[in-house]
Amino acid sequence: MDSIIVTGNGPLHGQIPIAGAKNACLALMPATLLSEEPLTLTNAPRLSDIRTMTTLLQSLGAEVSALQDGQVLALSSHALTGHRAEYDIVRKMRASILVLGPLLARAGQAEVSLPGGCAIGARPVDLHLRALEALGAEMDLRDGYVHARAPAGGLRGGPVEFPFVSVGATENVLMAATLARGTTVIRNAAREPEIVDLARCLRTMGAAIEGEGTDEITVEGVDRLHGATHRVVTDRIELGTYMLAPAICGGEVECLGGRIDLVGAFCEKLDAAGIDVTETANGLKVSRRSDRVKAVDVTTEPFPGFPTDLQAQMMALLCTADGASVLEERIFENRFMHAPELMRMGARIDVQGGTARVTGVDRLKGAPVMATDLRASVSLILAGLAAEGDTTVNRVYHLDRGYERVEEKLSAVGAKIERVPAQ
């Protein structure tokens, strides 16, 4: 397996282009299953998770081609040949569950392997299943698969009320509801920018949706959806990650394509830590006000709160802050696996359940570390950028799931980072 060696190398200067959002793209791609006509996605990120979704859709009979070096995805589902998402694909990526709603709506039936646990917690799919049941689907769990069937005459709109916010379950039921008969009202819906992006794309395809971006989304079912071209929204997690690079190392970096509205709560915490963020014509410019950042407390929450997907990277920043910070993880029960790795680099972190207390040290020291999940791996790279000496991040396949050309983007602003291919 490849590893990445990062060497602390001082301040960073320049521009980093931010890609289209992985998590938006992973929801937009299954939307192709809802229509016989082609769907074209532009500004797609070039990531292994996108290739996994491509393989899954192809296994169902969809045509998917990556054009323009992977930045344009041409999808077509004019003739679906299957409705079963196999374990071998689903186990690689939990977002595979997002084919369930569209398949039910279009084909009237679906079999999707249960994703199983993952490194950051149990992550069940009960909310997805309950929401689709509210549209009349019958669910049966057998042999590790969800066997789902729409009633005769197809799904019917209905009220869906989530007990707590789920991004994926909101996406699944939103897609299914576009072709259901009648009105679906989704309450306690996720408000993430990726939901807004999906709703916009579905509307371009002819869906009747209102209220995306609020906690109540109303969908009026239509008979069919047509083709569309849609530009994938900027990746707010990649954006936040690269905004932290100059915050940690000093210097000034402009993140091209960045928008404050995508990272509002995150920017408030950066400001409290002593980091300046200014809007430019092309994105967001970031620099720190003094050599040492200040400690801040962070609690992860659904959007518009502080994103769980930036918690590990924020922890990397706070490891060298002046004072003690408390990070509370409220979305996933086991998402501090980067903490022991950061401690190998000299960080002082005390984890108690869902809370981590980080006491800033003067400087981190390079060490061999292990990437345990996608966001953890990039937090170790950020920490390595500011550490004394070399940090070798092993098991970087997680990184390639969610960050395109990370070495290229960071080298371009002056970081010393290289990939060592597996022997």
Q: Which residues are known catalytic residues? A: 118
Binding ligand UD1 (rule: CB under 6 A), the pick from 3, 52, 77, 166 is 166
Best CA proximity match to 166, nearest among 117, 98, 220: 98
Signed CA dihedral, 342, 115, 40, 176: sign only? negative
CB of 405 to ligand UD1, least distance (A): 20
- The answer to whether 356 and 350 are in contact (CB under 8 A) is yes
Binding ligand UD1 (rule: CB under 6 A), the pick from 41, 125, 232, 239 is 125
Query: Could you give the CA distance from residue 399 to residue 396 in angstroms, rounded to a whole number?
Result: 5
Distance of CA 79 to the CA centre of its chain: 29
- The answer to whether 148 and 141 are in contact (CB under 8 A) is no
Helix or strand or coil: residue 264? Answer: helix
Binding ligand UD1 (rule: CB under 6 A), the pick from 162, 332, 336, 403 is 332
Neighbours of 420 (CB within 10 A): 12
Judged by CB under 6 A, the chain residues 349 through 368 that form the site for ligand UD1 are none
How would you write 43-88 as a 3-class SS string?
Answer: CCCCCHHHHHHHHHHHHCCCEEEEEHHHCEEEEECCCCCCCEECHH
Binding ligand UD1 (rule: CB under 6 A), the pick from 167, 199, 356, 410 is 167
Judged by CB under 6 A, which stretch of 2-10, 118-126, 198-206, 391-399 contacts ligand UD1? 118-126
- Report strand pairing: 416-420 vs 3-7: antiparallel
Judged by CB under 6 A, which stretch of 52-60, 125-133, 381-389, 407-415 contacts ligand UD1? 125-133
Report CA dihedral (155, 158, 161, 167) to the nearest 10 degrees. 40
Integer CA distances (angstroms), 256 to 20, 21, 215, 284, 375, in order = 11, 14, 30, 7, 21
The vertex-338 CA angle with 336 and 339, nearest 5°, equals: 70
Q: Which residue has the tokens 């359940």?
A: 353
Q: Which is nearer to ligand UD1, 30 or 221 (CB)?
A: 30
CB of 192 to ligand UD1, least distance (A): 7
Best CA proximity match to 317, nearest among 288, 340, 350: 288
Size of the site for ligand UD1 (CB under 6 A): 20
Helix or strand or coil: residue 67? Answer: strand
Compose the 19-38 pattern: x for residues touching ligand UD1 by CB under 6 A, - for all others.
----x--x------------
Binding ligand UD1 (rule: CB under 6 A), the pick from 1, 81, 126, 278 is 126
- The answer to whether 4 and 418 are in contact (CB under 8 A) is yes
* Residue 124 is a binding residue for ligand UD1 (CB under 6 A): yes
Judged by CB under 6 A, which stretch of 83-91, 120-128, 206-214, 239-247 contacts ligand UD1? 120-128
CB of 170 to ligand UD1, least distance (A): 8
Judged by CB under 6 A, the chain residues 68 through 107 that form the site for ligand UD1 are 94-95
Judged by CB under 6 A, which stretch of 119-127, 179-187, 241-249, 391-399 contacts ligand UD1? 119-127
Q: Which is nearer to ligand UD1, 19 or 127 (CB)?
A: 127
Put the strands of the sheet holding 63-67 in their side by side order.
63-67, 72-76, 39-42, 228-231
Q: Which is nearer to ligand UD1, 122 or 420 (CB)?
A: 122
Q: Which is nearer to ligand UD1, 33 or 387 (CB)?
A: 33
Judged by CB under 6 A, which stretch of 132-140, 161-169, 341-349, 391-399 contacts ligand UD1? 161-169
CB of 367 to ligand UD1, least distance (A): 27
Report CA dihedral (93, 99, 101, 103) to the nearest 10 degrees. -160
Bridge partners of 63, per DSSP, are: 76
Compose the 289-328 pattern: x for residues touching ligand UD1 by CB under 6 A, - for all others.
-------------------xx-------------------
Interface residue list for ligand UD1 (CB under 6 A): 23, 26, 94-95, 121, 123-128, 166-169, 194, 308-309, 331-332
